[in-house]
Amino acid sequence: MIRLNPIPWLFAPGIALAGYFVDGFSGAVKALVGWVVIVTAATIWVIVRRHLDRDTEL
């Protein structure tokens, strides 16, 4: 069973605030979408690696 790490989501308000300061509301949305893509890709990467490691163990 995979337990998801909630730590990356603690940074979301800061990411949104930084995006807001750079480009207003649309900057906040762009920053959050980018952060979600990064965190999702990293999560998928970990799931795939664990799956592949489990298959190679004998």
> Structural domain boundaries of the chain?
9-56
Query: CB neighbours (10 Å) of residue 19?
Result: 21
The band of 58, judged by pLDDT with boundaries at 50, 70 and 90, is low
Q: Where are the alpha helices (DSSP H) in the chain?
A: 7-10, 12-56
Six token digits for residue 10: 């603690």
For residues 6 and 29, which has the higher predicted lDDT (pLDDT)?
29
- pLDDT, residue 50, reads 86
Its sign, for the CA torsion 41, 42, 47, 50, is: positive
Is residue 55's pLDDT more than 80? no
Is residue 57's pLDDT more than 70? no
